[in-house]
Amino acid sequence: MMSSVAAPLVEMTGISKEFPGVKALSGVHLKVERGEVHVLFGENGAGKSTLISILSGVFRPTSGAIRIAGDEVSFHSVHDAAKAGIGTVFQEFSLVPTLPVFENLYLGRELMRGPLTDRRAMLAGAQRLFAELDFDIDVTRPASSLSRAQQQMVEIAKAFLSNARVLILDEPTASLTERETERLFSFIGKAAASGVGIIYISHRIQEFQKIADRISILRDGRLIATVPARETSERVLIELMTGRAVDQVYPKIARRADGPVIMTLEGLRTAGVHGASLEVRAGEVLGCAGLVGSGKSRIWRAAMGLQPLQSGRITLKGRDVTGAATRALLNDGVFFLPSDRKSEGLQMTATARGNIELSLLDRADVAGPLGFVRPRRSRALTDAIGDKVGIARPAMDRAVSKLSGGNQQKVLFGKGFGDDRDVYIFDEPTVGVDMGTRMALYQLIKDIAEAGKAVVVISSDLPEVMNLSHRLLVFAKGRIAAELSGSAIDEENVLKHFFAETEGSA
């Protein structure tokens, strides 16, 4: 252990990872010192999550080496990594909803007394830890009864419990209020001061600049640079992240001056939305921003008949469509792009063409008078759509599961061009896609809006939703906290409303 004093706490060298059809990481280096807060910065799909998944034992790298305090390690499971002192708070919640909080904390490392678990010791340990962390949660409650922020706090506590030498936090503030975030930062400060190395993944620049020592920027699976946090401006960071000047990424979308109202939601209530009203206009991009759980997505899911509507009225082109079935709305000229392409958007085992074809089957010229599909007509149309959204011809006949995330998202977009629609609702339109695809998709959104259609963009990616929208609705706690328009849409303004009415909910 002599060498361990000099060697960096974590040293990842030449890390590459290939998934079938995708190269997620190529030759990434990362060094984290004791007591350092090291931020990983990059877009969705840049490889941040893959990189920390490798460090925390979820995936094994295709090539490359990991050294912890100078010793080369090879993790076969999360358990292995945890034993080596790596504690991870994953972005996806890893709590068992049916178990109480304290059992979740000790899951996989139960305290034992002989052959039996020591319930009392675990209970006491959990309470002590929560008191230390200043988290106010009853540890006997089942995890399912906690709010998202509370669940996040339990996840963090879980990582602290293992006395980790390295603490990995993957977008930890995504669902926290400002106050909770402050509290988290004070722990991070304390933990770093005690010599723990912290890897912090985020794309909220303002936030991490308060705590970061160094920032590593990833783009398309490559390490672009590692820079000291204090001397690097926001603008430089964004340009490193996107690889382009900011104004090149987002197209200027012309706004139709007085587009007619196409769709309205009035006083809509559903689980997670407590009364919200809005209008969608032709030729305009309406943005919906907000934290996870703010209701920005659920209001549209309810309007589309994807989750039960408690009350409210929905009109489409002047007609009342409250409570209409999803299918009826789709036939009536609404396109809805779900946020999760794998579970809701695509038939993963079918080809790209097969997926797009599904949206054509109701067309009279494809289905024919007797309902038999005309293969040649369908092929011509799907090819045209593939060209429009930019899917290469050979990719059209491959299973969607074998395509890259970017191409999958293009297929999903393609399903919107089978028929003429009036309203396009995009829920997280560019989640997990590379920069090139992103710009292509933005161009499609621009074309749709400028053709006079109504476009709704729901996104957790703040720059995206801010730059695309003509009018931006900020959701907080199931309500619309603000409506911003044109030049009033700036980051400070939007973030201010993110936490509206959230006093002391933890």
Partner 1 sequence: MSMPTTTIAEDTVAPRRSNALLAGLRAVFLRVGVLPFFLVATLIAFSLVSKEFLALQNLTNVARQSVYLILVSLGQMLALVTGGFDLSVGTAIALTSVVSALAMVTLSHMLSPDMLWLVIVLGCCAGLAAALVIGSINGLGVAVFGVSPFIMTLGVQSVGAGIALFLTGGVPVSGVPYEFGDILGFGRVFDIPVPVLVAIVAAATIWLVMNRTRLGKHIQAVGGNAKAARLSGVNTTKVLFIAYALCALLASVAGLLLTARVGSGETNLGGTIALESIAACVIAGVSLHGGIGRVENVVLGGFFIVLLQNGMNIAQIGSYMQMVLLGSLLVLAVILDQFRYRLLVGER
Nearer to partner 1, 298 or 438 (CB): 298
- Angle, helices 405-414 vs 435-450, to 10°: value is 10
Give me the least distance between CB of 79 and partner 1, in Å please. Answer: 3
26/47 Cα distance (integer angstroms): 9
Residue with tokens 């991070």: 188
Q: How does DSSP classify residue 142?
A: B
Token pair, residue 167, equals: 């603490």
Give me the least distance between CB of 99 and partner 1, in Å please. Answer: 6
Three-state secondary-structure class, residue 380: helix
Rg (CA), the chain: 24
Give me the least distance between CB of 116 and partner 1, in Å please. Answer: 4
Nearer to partner 1, 97 or 323 (CB): 97
Query: What is the contact surface with partner 1 in residues (CB under 8 A)?
Result: 58, 77-79, 82, 88, 90, 92-99, 103-104, 107-110, 112, 115-117, 119, 142, 144-148, 158, 271-272
Nearer to partner 1, 112 or 384 (CB): 112
Nearer to partner 1, 108 or 267 (CB): 108
490/479 Cα distance (integer angstroms): 20
Give me the least distance between CB of 33 and partner 1, in Å please. Answer: 26
Rounded (5°) CA angle 418-278-343: 45
Nearer to partner 1, 58 or 261 (CB): 58
Give me the least distance between CB of 221 and partner 1, in Å please. Answer: 23
Token pair, residue 157, equals: 């506590």
Contact by Cβ (8 Å): 16, 6: no
123/330 Cα distance (integer angstroms): 51
Give me the least distance between CB of 97 and partner 1, in Å please. Answer: 5
Neighbours of 314 (CB within 10 A): 21
Nearer to partner 1, 88 or 359 (CB): 88
For the residues of 409-466, what is the DSSP string, one character each? HHHHHHGGGSS--SEEEEESTTTT--HHHHHHHHHHHHHHHHTT-EEEEE-S-HHHHH
Give me the least distance between CB of 149 and partner 1, in Å please. Answer: 11
Q: What is the largest CA-CA distance in the chain?
A: 81
Give me the least distance between CB of 332 and partner 1, in Å please. Answer: 28
377/375 Cα distance (integer angstroms): 6
Give me the least distance between CB of 174 and partner 1, in Å please. Answer: 16
Token pair, residue 497, equals: 């409303």
Nearer to partner 1, 343 or 487 (CB): 343
Residue with tokens 């920032």: 215
Nearer to partner 1, 147 or 326 (CB): 147
Residue 207 C-alpha from the chain's centroid: 17
255/417 Cα distance (integer angstroms): 21
Nearer to partner 1, 143 or 229 (CB): 143
